Amino acid sequence: MSTPTAAVEGGAAPFGRGTLGGEPEKLQLKVGGMHCSLCTDSIRRAVGRLVGVRSVEVSIAHEEALVEYDPAHVTPDVITGTLEDIGYTVREPDQAEMFVEEEHDLAVARHKAGLSIGLLVAASLVMTAAMLGGPALFLALAMGALALFTAFGPARFILVRNGWQSLRRGIFNQDVLVTASALGGLLGGGVGLAVPAVPAGGFFGATVFVLAFHLIGGYASVLVHVRASQSVRRLLALTPDTAQRLTADDGEEAVPVAQLLVGDRVRVRPGERIPADGTVLGGASAVDESLVTGEPIPADKLAGSEVIGGSLNQTGSLTLRVDRVGSESFLRTVARHVAEARALKPGILRLVDRVLLYYVPVVLIASLVGLLAWTLGAWLLEGEPNWLRAGFAALTALIMGYPCALGMSTPLAIIRASGEAAERGIIMRSGEAFHVFRNVDTVVFDKTGTLTEGKPHLVATSWLHGDPNELLGWVASVEAHSEHPLAQAIVSNAREKGLTLATPEAFEARPGRGVDGTIAGRRLLVGTRRLLTEEGVNPAPLDSLVGRTQAQGQTVVLVALDGQAAGVLALADRVKPDAREAVERIQRLGVRPVLLTGDNERSARAVAEAVGIEEVRAEVLPGDKAAEVRRLQALGQRVAMVGDGINDAPALMQADVGVAIGSGTDITLEAADVVLVSERLATLVEARELARRSYRLTATNVALALAFNGIGVLAAITGLVTPVWAMAAMAVSVSVVLANSFAGRLLAR
């Protein structure tokens, strides 16, 4: 295989055992073969022991590892070789074929689950025939054939790979348990063919049941997890496929964006996305950068202004010089932050894995106790060992010990919760993270589009003289002929007030400055301070009004009438109607709200005060948002991040629970664990309560799944329980877990 490329990032720091310090490098890897959340510890231990490795972060949800290391002491070859030596497969993340493989994995799991259902039906028919007609060799052989086909057909990866690899790593998980149960069934069936006293068909049938139920549970898990974030691919799709590059004679040629070079000139027309980071050479326009920077007000772009690839050009044509391409571009930088955050996301030790950490050794010990009780114990008490009963007790304990419903406990609870969540406008994308939601003690909110509506509104007007409604009507009449978003906000406000708009006698748009128009013989200038100054108007009388407006974090539009300063319009992004109530409900639950935004300090403080948030972090870059979430996590806090923009994606991925607003971008939705489709912030509180009850349902399912089999293990030690009772316990436990999962409602409507 090719050696994965290490992404170099500066920043010297003390290194691990045997290192001297220096410039660290980061190696991000896709790690295949992780069968449970306990695998993360085995990877950390194995790689962390290498001289020169500074840190190892592993994400079981996304099967990725991020290794920070000193290249002077260890190489990527050594790191990947270590992972392969302990049984994992390694490749670079975010390759195109990775997404195809994930879909292939889902299709394979679906096929195996369907085949397993057929095997269960066939085994049940053979078992019924044996019960009605009595034991027969051909029926035992038929069941043996089914068991061998299951074990070395669809389930061979469990026995040959998963169970063995888990034991190699010192991990006691469900794969170890199912392997022991299946091998015990095969061994018991083989003995039964030679010893009539041992029910061969029963042991073989138990093997079929154990493996078939495990495969069905595996499909449920794959179905829940294989749709893990593919956000980098979604992010890069925001960049247009082609760009209009200008030739030496100012002609245009369509070229793939990937072929753009630094220094190229490109033309961007209204309604097109900016193809690359660059500088405006000519033209004027308003560019919507809200999904990129978090600023709700479109930015006016003139010659010399910087633009960001992926932002939306709105009103005019621009000629740009390309300044950054490839890995240095803004979108690629965010993509890198998202990918790193995916590996740095806190690990989740699943409830089932925590239980199995103790349950598996108990089952194995119980099997050994059964063996010793009827060999050594019988010899001490009766003078000779009872080998038949000892083998029967040991093998039946292994079979009884596997709770088939265990693998379905979490997926069924998640499927049940997801159904109710969907009714409330909540989509769960990660079951484990959704369950973690119940323990969240800090909720970090983005501002634009999350706490606010994400678009400008006229919120106030201040006039030096004249009738306010008449003046606003004149301004709106002129602005009605402008395509600028701020102009449309002014017009909408005037119409909401029932003002009648007139047709201007003259109109001229001044790109990047404002508009110049005449209404009823009165000349109006509406726009920036620069527009008034260029037209010979002294804006000084408006300074105090401008200062008060800007102090509240609002955008200012100046108005001049007949050559004299007349007033100020204040525009801002309005707070959502239910934002304050949602924040108050979260605080009553003992959860601390934090506002984290790329917007300016004044706007952030104004919104925070309006919704009741005291802690504010403003003017934060996308990569720094994720770092801020990591800082909170390092303090021992469970963090949920709520956002909707591209700049929120790394933080959403990094958070213990990422919550996206449904109107957000593709990358935001893909990076999140929970999506609020309805955009009502009240559903955030409902989601947390649903997470709490869903986890309780999972815990109940796990307890029910273990109860039948736990009691069965104790009974099996007596050596008097036949494998048919194990199959009955499997069927009953699965039925009970199914009934428990879908009985009643988790939340009342």
Per residue in 376-413, pLDDT tens? Answer: 888 888 888 888 888 888 888 888 888 777 767 777 77
Q: Is residue 84 assigned to a domain?
A: yes
Residues 107 and 185 in one domain: yes
Distances from the Cα of 233 to the Cα of 332, 557, 711, angstroms: 11, 40, 49
Mean pLDDT of 535-558: 89
Tokens of 612: 């009741």
Q: Are residues 474 and 549 in the same domain?
A: yes
Residue 707: partners with Cβ closer than 8 Å, 6 or more residues away: 733
7 falls in which pLDDT band (50, 70, 90)? very low
Q: Does the pLDDT of residue 592 top 90, yes or no?
A: yes
Total domains in the fold of the chain: 4
Query: Residue 226: pLDDT band by 50, 70, 90 thresholds?
Result: low
- For residue 446, indicate whether it is catalytic: yes
Q: How confident is the model at residue 37 (pLDDT cuts 50, 70, 90)?
A: low
Boundary residue ending a domain (284, 305, 327)? 327
Q: 33: which residues sit within 8 A by CB, 6+ positions away?
A: 39, 87, 88, 89, 161, 165
- Looking at the fold, whether 453 and 309 belong to one and the same domain comes out as no
* 205-222 pLDDT tens trace: 989 988 988 888 777 667
Answer whether 150's CB lies under 8 Å from 119's CB: yes
Residues 6+ apart with CB under 8 A from 187: 203, 395
Is the same domain home to 51 and 166? no
How far apart (Å, rounded) are the C-alpha atoms in residues 562 and 192? 106
pLDDT digits (tens, 9 = 90+) for 231-257: 444 544 555 678 889 888 888 888 888
Crossing angle of helices 137-152 and 200-225, in 10° steps, is 30
Please check whether residues 255 and 202 belong to one and the same domain: no
Tokens 């290794």 sit on residue: 67
Task: Average the pLDDT over 34-58 and give the result.
Answer: 80
Provide the mean pLDDT of the chain. Answer: 82
pLDDT at 285 over 90: no
In a domain, 14, yes or no: yes
- For position 346, what pLDDT does the model report? 62
- Check residue 93 and give its pLDDT: 61
Q: What is the mean pLDDT of residues 112-139?
A: 89
Residue 364: inside a domain, yes or no? no
Is residue 655 one of the residues assigned to a domain?
no
State both tokens at 10.
Answer: 């500066």
Selection from 419-433, 479-493, 583-597 with the highest mean pLDDT: 583-597
Domain boundary among 227, 258, 275: 227
Of 595, 619, 643, the one marking the end of a domain is: 619
Q: Verify that 65 and 193 share a domain, yes or no.
A: no
CATH code of the domain in which 36 resides: 3.30.70.100
Dump pLDDT digits (tens) for 479-489: 998 878 888 89
Q: At residue 641, does pLDDT exceed 90? A: yes
Distance CA(644)–CA(274), nearest Å, equals 20
- Identify whether residues 575 and 452 lie together within a single domain: yes
Q: Which residue has the higher pLDDT, 434 or 437?
A: 437
If asked whether residues 448 and 540 sit together in one domain, one would say yes
Instruction: CATH number of the domain at 308, please.
Output: 2.70.150.10
What's the number of CA atoms in the CB half-sphere (13 Å) around residue 182? 29
CA separation for the pair 412, 421 (Å, rounded): 14
Q: Is residue 397 part of a domain?
A: no
Is there a single domain that holds both residue 199 and residue 262? no
Q: Find the domain containing 223 and state its range.
A: 102-227
529 lies in some domain:
yes
Local structure of residue 375 (DSSP, 8 states): I
Which of the four pLDDT bands, split at 50, 70 and 90, describes residue 1? very low
Considering the domain boundaries, does residue 286 fall inside one?
A: yes
Comparing 281 with 339, the larger pLDDT belongs to 281
Residue tagged active-site, from 175, 264, 353, 446: 446
Q: Is residue 505 located within the same domain as residue 594? A: yes
Determine the 3-state secondary structure of 277 from DSSP: strand
Cβ neighbour number for residue 3 with a 10 Å cutoff: 14
**Contact (Cβ atoms closer than 8 angstroms) between residue 80 and residue 361:** no
Q: What is the CATH number of the domain that holds 524?
A: 3.40.1110.10
Percentage of the chain with pLDDT > 90? 22
Co-location of 285 and 200 in the same domain = no
pLDDT at 291 > cutoff 70? no
Q: Which of 324-333, 354-363, 441-450 has the lowest mean pLDDT?
A: 324-333
Residues 279 and 156 in one domain: no
Residue bearing the bigger pLDDT, 33 or 316: 316
Q: Is the residue at 477 inside a domain? A: yes
pLDDT at position 599 is 81
The region of weakest confidence among 115-124, 267-276, 285-294, 491-500 is: 285-294
Q: Pick the range with the lowest mean pLDDT from 57-71, 435-449, 538-552, 661-675.
A: 661-675
For residue 648, what pLDDT is reported?
86
